[in-house]
Structure 1
């Protein structure tokens, strides 16, 4: 097990990991070290065949307040080359959650600002506490509203017009609006958030790991498919691959025998 200093990882249910951003005194603002630990977490989860779902949430009353302002203050002192190298590394560490084969759920328990918004967008599913709110805080500190994947993900979720307005203004989107516009799929009371996330995670882990990985892949590929034919070719490929797995044979046998399948990820 990896020893984290900015994250806390728990396993409250079999095959489900919950990773808490663990700087509650700073509303879980991201440090350069936390970016590194995001990448380490992804490696740990992906290399563990017994972990089928990852939940991301925050300790305390915030999800993630974005980049820690003390660290943001050091950015202008970097050379352009240093900043580009760092920026590319940070972008990889956040977008890495989307690239994982393991499904990722963001349980947004409070403010998700700037890089916190980016982190939520990198998850496959977002649910929110009624106390959650979202904003592209980058524009509030003199940066572009497109950072760590926001300019790619937000228009695909909300449409170009709505995403543009949110990214240009940096205004807050509260939980009820987030649900209405499709930024999140569910809103619940703060005390119920983790239970709701675990409920969704348990439904996902009941499916075959290979099937879930292929589903993530086909969604992410076909959202930008150039044509129906291109999309169908990926779907057809994936279905052929899935029929070669032991897990599909197990799923069919379990369905016929009216029992819970025992998936091996093979």
Structure 2
């Protein structure tokens, strides 16, 4: 049986994670959840990987939780509330772990990106998609809250509160064109070139100073919610002082300083 999550290294410093249940549009089942969590945990301490691409096999990115065939861990509505809370926390831990990676993550959305798939996409640092991509917050269509797995935190910060409310309260399908127009994705790429473009971006990031890149990612996360400009500048100033003193930064400055002498 094929692995539900595969990882390849197309070039130095870049890992491509592929959700690999194409026959189910890469819907998350119990095995995939476990494998994805383990892979993200391993990447977190992998000092040789400097950028990560997340995509889906076949014609889908991720169609959410496989409600028809999740596995024995799926709980019924009459299960104890504590057990159902633990299940929800396990699912919510996936986008949390993706966001917590020290390496920048690029989501290459190649098709339907729904529910838990949308949550994973939102947790990435950069999102690009093909014209075949579509996005949806499906939980509300099933009588559940549309706010799950970090969506009510991430989505308003990316597209604004009004647009996020539109998408989350209606559960409607959002096309690639609308996602691009609203700023959910930074690039709309031809289907055949999507993963190549994501790897190209990842390689560009991976070729920079790992310390500088990781400090930049951390600052973006923290300063999105900064209490004030002064607080944001405090973190930025500290990061510049720390990175300025590294051997890597000194080596990268040398060609620029040499031009002036």
Shift, 1:246, TM fit: 2.1
Unaligned segments of structure 1, at least 5 residues: 259-266
What is the aligned length? Answer: 256
Q: Which residue of 1 aligns with 2:61?
A: 63
Partner in structure 2 of residue 264 of structure 1: none
Partner of residue 28, structure 1: 26
TM-score for both structures, normalised by structure 1: 0.91
Task: Name 2:244's counterpart in structure 1.
Answer: 243
**Match of residue 46 from structure 2:** 48
Alpha-carbon contact 2:94-2:120 (below 8 Å) kept = no
Q: Matches of 2:248 and 2:116 in 1, distance apart?
A: 37
**1:72-91 alignment, distance < 5 Å:** 74-91=75-92
* CA RMSD in angstroms, aligned pairs only: 1.8
> How far apart, CA to CA, are the structure 1 residues paired with 2:79 and 2:209?
46
Alignment of 1:97-136 (within 5 A): 97-136=98-137
**Cα deviation, residue 64, structure 1:** 0.2
Contact 1:133/1:173 (CA < 8 Å) preserved in 2? yes
Partner of 2:181: 180
CA shift, 1:74, in A, is: 3.4
**SS in structure 2 at match of 1:116:** helix
SS in structure 2 at match of 1:191: helix
Shift of 1:194: 0.8
1:190 is matched with which residue?
Answer: 191
Q: Deviations over 1:10-68 (max 9, x none)?
A: 11111111110000000000112322222211122222211111100000000000000
Q: Which runs of 5+ in 2 are unaligned?
A: none
**Is the 8 Å Cα contact of residues 36 and 93 (structure 1) preserved in structure 2?**
no
1:158 aligns with 2:159: yes
Q: TM-score, normalised by structure 2?
A: 0.93
- Contact kept in structure 1, 2:56 and 2:109, CA below 8 Å: yes
Q: Residue in 2 aligned with 1:8? A: 6
